[in-house]
């Protein structure tokens, strides 16, 4: 029998992080991560085959590390949760196959969950139950999404998304243009602190077009052309100013759109998640604008913003507590799983 506060082990392998988290209720007991980012750095981006092989090698040791960190054994686990999508197909299959094996061998229920909904749910581990409803803005290398969340366990609605490059993807591409390496988000964040965010007037795509959608491809191209023009003229590229001006353009649009969703839907709680939510300027501008608009802001600590197993375990725990039936052991990995599907049956 599953306890009132179940002990849930979550597995995340949607991209280049092998994450294993263990949660009891809303309490985080372990958050073990094995990253393959260094293996992808020389290619300037994530290579799916490299990611899949890295997950295979890291899965067993990362699970064992999480169990040791939490001070529990496999027999103590009440349920397993795993990211079933969206993500890289091969990477997802590694995690799903491992979770199935653990659940089947131990006779425990398995929940295949949505990666994006897990990014929303992880905030409960830090700030307690989510307000119902709340607005969630998820920004990462693969997603820029605005969601209305009446109930993270079963009612998540997409209101806006990116029409081209996601915010994190734009950070990576601009970092490459500036010769800053991969991944681009952290290094641009650091470099921007030394620059002037008003130095260059980069465009704000879809800034006030009346929609909740994002577009960062034009901004990325504008940065590349500006840098190329400087180089052709034989002038030094002011990297800190470019980084700061680019970053300001991104976070300006993100926060403006997020608050528009809150205002239009009469919601007074905004949650920001995903890897780009670790960006210091996004966190600062969101706090400033939310305070001015009377909106309560929730942002997990940076480590919980990036992909991790804790967020998967948190959503699994929420599903168990909500009394939802577990997934079938034949559940697939779905690389294009829509956000409205919180859990696969």
Per residue in 116-147, pLDDT tens?
Answer: 999 999 999 999 999 999 999 999 888 899 99
Split into its structural domains, the chain has a count of 2
269 marked ligand binding residue: no
Dig out the tokens for 325 from the structure.
Answer: 């039936």
pLDDT at 8: 98
196 marked ligand binding residue: no
8 marked ligand binding residue: no
Residue 2 covered by a domain: no
Alpha carbons 149 and 12: distance in angstroms, whole number? 22
CATH number at residue 11: 3.30.420.40
Tell me the Ramachandran region of residue 75: left when phi exceeds 0, alpha when psi lies from -120 to 50, beta otherwise: alpha
40 marked ligand binding residue: no
21 marked ligand binding residue: no
172 marked ligand binding residue: yes
139 marked ligand binding residue: yes
**Domain of 323?**
7-122+308-344
Rounded to two decimals, the pTM is: 0.94
55 marked ligand binding residue: no
* Overall average pLDDT of the 196-211 stretch: 95
279 marked ligand binding residue: yes
Residues 143 and 44 in one domain: no
Tell me the Ramachandran region of residue 11: left when phi exceeds 0, alpha when psi lies from -120 to 50, beta otherwise: beta
* Overall average pLDDT of the 161-185 stretch: 93
107 marked ligand binding residue: no
Residue 280 covered by a domain: yes
DSSP 4-18: SS-EEEEEE-SSSEE
pLDDT at 3: 59
* Overall average pLDDT of the 187-201 stretch: 97
317 marked ligand binding residue: no
Residues 107 and 238 in one domain: no
Residue 1 covered by a domain: no
Residue in the structure block whose two tokens are 């590694």: 94
Confidence of residue 113 (pLDDT cuts 50, 70, 90): very high
Residues 82 and 230 in one domain: no
Residues 144 and 44 in one domain: no
143 marked ligand binding residue: no
Residues 99 and 139 in one domain: no
């Amino acid at each position: 029998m599953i306890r009132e506060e179940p002990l849930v082990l979550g597995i995340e392998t949607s991209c280049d992080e092998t994450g294993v988290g263990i949660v009891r209720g809303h309490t985080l007991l372990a958050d073990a991560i094995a990253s393959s980012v260094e293996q992808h750095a020389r290619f300037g981006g994530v290579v799916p085959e490299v990611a899949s092989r890295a997950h295979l090698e890291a899965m067993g040791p990362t699970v064992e590390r999480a169990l040791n960190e939490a001070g529990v054994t496999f027999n103590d686990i009440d349920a397993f949760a795993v990211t079933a999508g969206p993500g890289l197909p091969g990477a997802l299959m590694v995690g799903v196959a491992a979770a199935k094996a653990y659940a089947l061998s131990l006779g425990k229920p398995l929940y295949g969950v949505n990666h994006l909904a897990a990014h929303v749910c992880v905030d409960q581990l830090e700030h307690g139950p989510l307000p119902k409803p709340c607005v969630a803005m998820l920004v990462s290398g693969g997603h820029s999404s605005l969601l209305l969340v009446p109930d993270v366990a079963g009612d998540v609605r997409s209101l806006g998304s990116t029409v081209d490059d996601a915010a994190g993807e734009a950070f990576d591409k601009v970092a490459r243009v500036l010769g800053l390496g991969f991944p681009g988000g952290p290094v641009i964040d650091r470099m921007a602190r030394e620059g002037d965010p008003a130095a260059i007037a980069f465009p704000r795509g879809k800034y006030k077009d009346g929609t909740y959608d994002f577009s960062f491809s034009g901004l990325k191209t504008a940065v590349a052309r500006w840098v190329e023009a400087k180089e052709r003229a034989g002038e030094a590229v002011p990297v800190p100013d470019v980084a700061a001006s680019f970053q300001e353009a991104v976070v300006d649009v993100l926060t403006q759109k997020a608050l528009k969703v809150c205002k239009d839907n009469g919601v007074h709680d905004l949650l920001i998640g995903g890897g780009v939510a670790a960006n210091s300027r996004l966190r600062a501008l969101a706090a400033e604008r939310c305070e001015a608009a009377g909106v309560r802001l929730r942002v997990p600590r940076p480590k919980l913003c990036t992909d991790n197993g804790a967020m998967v375990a948190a959503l699994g725990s929420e599903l168990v507590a909500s009394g939802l039936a577990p997934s079938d052991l034949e559940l697939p990995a779905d690389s294009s799983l829509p956000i409205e599907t919180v859990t696969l049956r």
